[in-house]
Amino acid sequence: ASIEGRVWDSFEETPLMSTYLVAFVVSDLKNLTTKDGKYSVWMREEVISQGKYALSIAPNIIQAMEQYTGIQYELPKLDQVAVPDMFFWAMENWGLVTL
């Protein structure tokens, strides 16, 4: 909903987690999402081809990590955000990977 230029959004309750793992991104990025809605990649329009690659391998990486650790990924979805000018570091927030 939008009231006087403000946007109100609501979110599902998250599983118990450390507060430093919470992340929000406010941007004007484009996104690609898998057909099942479980994986999304957000990026600038000029790097969409790289986003397609990231989106194509994300489900396989999650599945490999589940098999390796024996722990199922608990969240209903995973978003990846290509943040401009982040250079050589990333942050692995729970449910949101910034790179």
Structure tokens at 46: 């000029």
Gap between the Cα atoms of 55 and 52, Å rounded: 5
State the average pLDDT over residues 67-90: 85
pLDDT in tens, 27-71: 889 999 999 999 999 999 998 988 999 999 999 999 999 999 999
Environment class of 39 (CB within 10 Å of its CB; exposed 0-12, middle 13-18, buried 19+): buried
pLDDT score, position 26: 84
Distance CA 75, CA 62 (A): 11
CA proximity to 59, closest of 45, 43, 73: 73
Secondary element (H or E) of residue 41: strand 39-43
pTM, to two decimals: 0.78
